[in-house]
Amino acid sequence: MQRKRMVRILGRNIYSTLTLSSFTFILLMWFALSYSGAVKELFLPSPGSVLQALGEMHEEGILVDYTLDSTYRVVVGWIMAVIVSIPLGMLVATSKKAEAILTPVIEFARYLPVVAMVPLTLLYFGIGDLQKFAVIFLGTFFQLVLMVSDVVAGVQRDLLRAAATLGASRWQIYRLVLMPASLPGIMDSLRITIGWAWTYLVVAELVAANSGLGHMILKSQRFLATDRMFAGLIIIGLLGLATDLFFKWLTRVVVPWNEKAGGKA
């Protein structure tokens, strides 16, 4: 037991070292290319310039406010998609009639580029946060419905038959068999789609926005302020990384029976 624990700790240390090494390599390449003059400051600002830009934005009072605005839009738009897509995906997976009615429509809609629908969202929802929610919703909802449907459809039918044989009602089968069996896959789908939500955030804030990280990046592009553009991208990347780590932790807490929850060997 002690040996297994030592091996596990050693494996975590190696994993952490490799993770830090990858980020260190990127930073070293950034330092080398920017400070050596191999790439012009206009195209690749130095780390010092980006840090200075972050400090300036903080002094201007927009760094925290814009970050909170963007986070709020991502979370609300994504949660709206989750609330609708999970029960709908389960319905599609368990009902042939629902599958016949909904799947063709969803398959059609998920191939429509969200960028092309931005003008319509402006027309329907105005220029407020509701329009931003709608863009993030459209970018994640249709994909998430199909992902949840595939996960639920992959549950072993023997489990459902055994529950029905033991006298479980349809609701009990959903609650006690179908949901626990599909929850690990659903958690993975949620982790993937919230990453897409951060991507569509920039699309949502590029048009008719007066705050947010996407708005700040577009405004900086107009003035060729690449240091601020890099600062905004780095903040979005760090927020996305934090979100991903949070979902990995949440998966271990919510579905401890999942084999993947413990990590790879």
Higher pLDDT, 16 or 122: 122
> Mean pLDDT over all residues of the chain?
85
Q: What does the alpha-carbon distance between residue 58 and residue 19 come to, in Å, rounded to a whole number?
A: 29
- Whether the per-residue pLDDT at 261 is higher than 50: the answer is no
- Whether the per-residue pLDDT at 264 is higher than 60: the answer is no
Q: pLDDT at position 207, please?
A: 76
- Whether the per-residue pLDDT at 2 is higher than 80: the answer is no
- Categorize the per-residue pLDDT at 254 as very low, low, confident or very high, splitting at 50, 70 and 90: confident
Q: pLDDT at position 84, please?
A: 95
Q: pLDDT at position 9, please?
A: 58
- Whether the per-residue pLDDT at 263 is higher than 50: the answer is no
Distances in whole angstroms, Cα of residue 75 to Cα of each of 124, 127, 197: 21, 18, 8
157-191 tens-digit pLDDT:
777 778 777 777 777 777 788 888 888 889 999 99
- Whether the per-residue pLDDT at 98 is higher than 50: the answer is yes
Q: pLDDT at position 265, please?
A: 46
68 within 8 A of 239, measured Cβ to Cβ? no
27-82 tens-digit pLDDT:
888 888 888 888 888 888 989 999 999 999 999 989 999 999 999 999 999 999 99
- Categorize the per-residue pLDDT at 5 as very low, low, confident or very high, splitting at 50, 70 and 90: low
**Top-ranked range on mean pLDDT: pick from 67-81, 208-222, 237-251:** 67-81
**Top-ranked range on mean pLDDT: pick from 9-23, 62-76, 174-188, 205-219:** 62-76
Q: pLDDT at position 219, please?
A: 86
- Whether the per-residue pLDDT at 96 is higher than 80: the answer is yes
- What is the value of pTM for the model shown? 0.83
